[in-house]
Amino acid sequence: MKPHLIVLDLDGTLLTDEKKIMPQTAQTLLKAKEQGHHVMLATGRAYRATETYYRELNLTTPVINFNGAFVHHPDNRSWKTIHETLSLPVVLEVMEAMQQFPWNNIIAEVLDDVYVHYHDEKVLDNFKMGQPKVTTGEIQRFLQDDPTSLLIQADESNVESITAHLSSIHAEVVGHRVWNSPWGHVVEVFRKGLSKAAGLAHVAKWMDIPKDRIIAFGDENNDFEMIEYAGFGVAMGNGIDELKSMADEVTLSNNEDGIAKVLSERLNL
């Protein structure tokens, strides 16, 4: 069998609800690698919060972080890194516009530097993995570089008005998606055109693997493009309904070795 590229989202997909990799899933991925297949991670997380799992699986592939804004190879310095940032002037315009909407907090990340507008222990707890440099205070004052990511935390009742503004005023330069985090509803703002699929296309070309030999797993709305791009897109049983409806297969949940089941069957492991 020709080599396949197996692409794994982390939270809600490869990781259980306890943020662990199931032993059977790990063993299946190892078997796939032994048979010549490639395994890579594609996540909304920063690399500092991804590396533990990358090392646990002994991966040797590039990584897609920040939902495609940062695509890199941790162990190959000659690999051409992609870092697609938001323009700082645009971010400041968005920050200024946000003054007319109710929101709870705004977080900006420049790779491993985290800027949090308001001090909030619950928010900060979700950004501590990998020991980033954290700056708390007015983002307009402290942020000096084009950020990799901008997150706007707001009550659910205010999310629609915020996204409507982004769509009408800044649609040509930024994209956005909404997701739920342990610390509330979040509007993620990113450079227009970015997605896990865009990063995956770059990696697949470098590895010379066609779409029909890409198997991708996901569970949330930031996986839409990747699941659609892959030759075989799989939604986890715990995934959102919209993703399940567009996937080629729906497998068991992230707590039930859904990844292992699909790979064992499709790759004859």
Looking at residue 130, its pLDDT comes to 83
Q: 259 with 25: CB under 8 angstroms?
A: yes
Q: 144 with 68: CB under 8 angstroms?
A: no
DSSP one-letter string for 70-138: EEE-TT-TTS--EE-PPPHHHHHHHHHHGGGS--SEEEEEETTEEEESS--HHHHHTT-TT--EEEES-
Looking at residue 157, its pLDDT comes to 85
Query: pLDDT tens, position by position, for the chain (269 residues)?
Result: 899 999 999 999 999 999 999 999 999 999 999 999 999 999 999 999 999 999 999 999 999 999 999 999 999 989 999 999 999 999 999 988 888 888 999 999 999 999 999 998 888 888 888 888 999 999 999 999 999 999 999 988 888 889 998 888 777 788 898 887 776 789 999 999 899 999 999 999 999 999 999 999 999 999 999 999 999 999 999 999 999 999 999 999 999 999 999 999 999 98
Q: 105 with 117: CB under 8 angstroms?
A: yes
Looking at residue 60, its pLDDT comes to 97
Token pair listed for 257: 């070795």
Which of 9, 113, 219, 223 is an active site residue? Answer: 9
How far CA 238 is from CA of 40, 51, 65, 100, in Å, comes to 21, 24, 22, 36
Which strands, in side-by-side order, build the sheet including 70-72? 63-65, 70-72, 82-83
Q: Any idea which residue has 């909304």 for tokens? A: 44
pTM across the whole model: 0.94
Per-domain boundaries in the chain: 5-82+194-266, 88-191
* CATH class belonging to 88-191: alpha beta
Looking at residue 225, its pLDDT comes to 96
Q: Any idea which residue has 């949940």 for tokens? A: 253
Q: Which CATH architecture has domain 5-82+194-266?
A: 3-Layer(aba) Sandwich (3.40)
> Is 208 in the active site?
no
Looking at residue 129, its pLDDT comes to 84
Looking at residue 172, its pLDDT comes to 79
Looking at residue 54, its pLDDT comes to 98
Q: Residue 15 contacts by C-beta under 8 Å, 6 or more apart in sequence?
A: 21, 53, 254
237 alpha-carbon distance from chain centroid: 19
Q: Any idea which residue has 């700082």 for tokens? A: 88
